[in-house]
Amino acid sequence: MTIKNDVLNRYLFDDLHVRGELVQLKDTYKDIMNLHDYPAAVSQLLGELVAATCLLTATLKFEGEIAVQLQGDGPIGYLAVNGNHKQEMRGIVRLSTDTDATTLRELVGKGNMIITIRPDQGEPYQGVVALEKDTLADCLAHYFEVSEQIPTKIWLFSDNEKQQAAGCLVQLLPDGDDKEKQHLDFEHLCQITNTIKSDEIFTLEAEALLYRLYHQETVQLFEPQQVIYQCSCSEEKCLTTIAQIEPAELKSIIKERGHVDMTCDYCKTTYTFDEFKLLPFLNDIKH
Ligand SMILES: [Zn+2]
């Protein structure tokens, strides 16, 4: 049996003040990786970050976008995934050197995780945590602890051979009176969730997996949401970047090549702008 491709599920434990999320990705993983030629361990880490970003965007209480970036002094100089409330994901890795490293510490080195949240309505805000834990999942739990002060645990799975990624999130809800009991319930649910094996999360459908884990609890499962790979680049966004270039420089590029090309790092789409399209940006050139 195979999973229904690329689904995010949210659920709630009745009476326990704890919520959960489960994401299982196939096509999204393939679509993001197939555009690039990353080493296996790098793809695997990017897969984990895609699953993590799905889980993070699903915690948003408003419409908007989340960008999660890892920056460090290791072979991966930069790794970023963007996702939004529609669960449209894209991701990219910039390797500063070839590597056969496998762990997060070896791949990214000393650095930070930067989480930028951009609501469609309102000001963006950013949280930064040092990458001090051994796994991405633990770094994210650390982020929730320091930035949001909500007890949260995350499990991430990624397999470059199977071309699949998945993840689970368990979070304490802030309401309720009996804090001590709530924390015990939360710890108990985390222990159960911790028993998930990769072959289960990669093969079982959400309902079967959640039943296997939490059959002693009452779980309320919400409407699942489809996750897709979708790059957010556009001709319009390219023009915003082009507007930053000096008109004289633009003019000289056009003179030399006849057009200006911009290629999206994420999806490799090339946008071509000829002199006619660039007229508004060439206006103040003195002849
Ligand atoms: Zn693109």
Q: Report the chain's C-alpha Rg in angstroms.
A: 22
The CA distances from residue 80 to 109, 113, 115, 208, 286, in Å, are 15, 10, 10, 32, 41
For residue 120, give the 3-state DSSP assignment: coil
Q: What's the confidence (pLDDT) of residue 5? A: 82
Q: pLDDT at residue 287 above 80?
A: no
Q: How confident is the model at residue 4 (pLDDT cuts 50, 70, 90)?
A: low
Closest to 171 measured CA to CA, from 59, 23, 31: 59
Q: pLDDT at residue 12 above 60?
A: yes
Closest to 57 measured CA to CA, from 127, 138, 116: 116
Q: pLDDT at residue 128 above 70?
A: yes
Closest to 260 measured CA to CA, from 248, 252, 272, 251: 272
Query: For residue 69, what are the β-bridge partners?
Result: 80, 114
State the distance from the centre of ligand 1 to the C-alpha of 234, rounded, in angstroms: 7
Question: Per 3-state DSSP, what percentage of the chain is helix, strand, and coil (rounded to 5)?
Answer: 35, 30, 35
Closest to 229 measured CA to CA, from 50, 21, 41: 50
State the distance from the centre of ligand 1 to the C-alpha of 49, rounded, in angstroms: 18
* Range from 118-127, 151-160, 176-185 carrying the lowest mean pLDDT: 176-185
Stated pTM of the model: 0.91
Q: Which residue has the tokens 């959960």?
A: 20
State the distance from the centre of ligand 1 to the C-alpha of 160, rounded, in angstroms: 22
State the distance from the centre of ligand 1 to the C-alpha of 195, rounded, in angstroms: 37
Q: pLDDT at residue 25 above 90?
A: yes
State the distance from the centre of ligand 1 to the C-alpha of 246, rounded, in angstroms: 24
Q: What's the confidence (pLDDT) of residue 149? A: 85
For residue 216, give the 3-state DSSP assignment: coil
Residues 35, 43: Cα–Cα separation, whole Å: 11
State the distance from the centre of ligand 1 to the C-alpha of 72, rounded, in angstroms: 24
Helix (H) or strand (E) holding 270: strand 270-274
Q: pLDDT at residue 285 above 60?
A: no
State the distance from the centre of ligand 1 to the C-alpha of 86, rounded, in angstroms: 17
Q: What is the mean pLDDT of residues 263-281?
A: 90
State the distance from the centre of ligand 1 to the C-alpha of 100, rounded, in angstroms: 27
Helix (H) or strand (E) holding 5: none
State which residues have CB under 5 angstroms from ligand 1, the bound ion: 231, 233, 264, 266-267, 269
Q: pLDDT at residue 2 above 50?
A: no
Residues 274, 287: Cα–Cα separation, whole Å: 19
State the distance from the centre of ligand 1 to the C-alpha of 235, rounded, in angstroms: 10
Q: pLDDT at residue 34 above 80?
A: yes
State the distance from the centre of ligand 1 to the C-alpha of 280, rounded, in angstroms: 24
The tokens for 89 are: 């994901």
Q: How confident is the model at residue 284 (pLDDT cuts 50, 70, 90)?
A: low
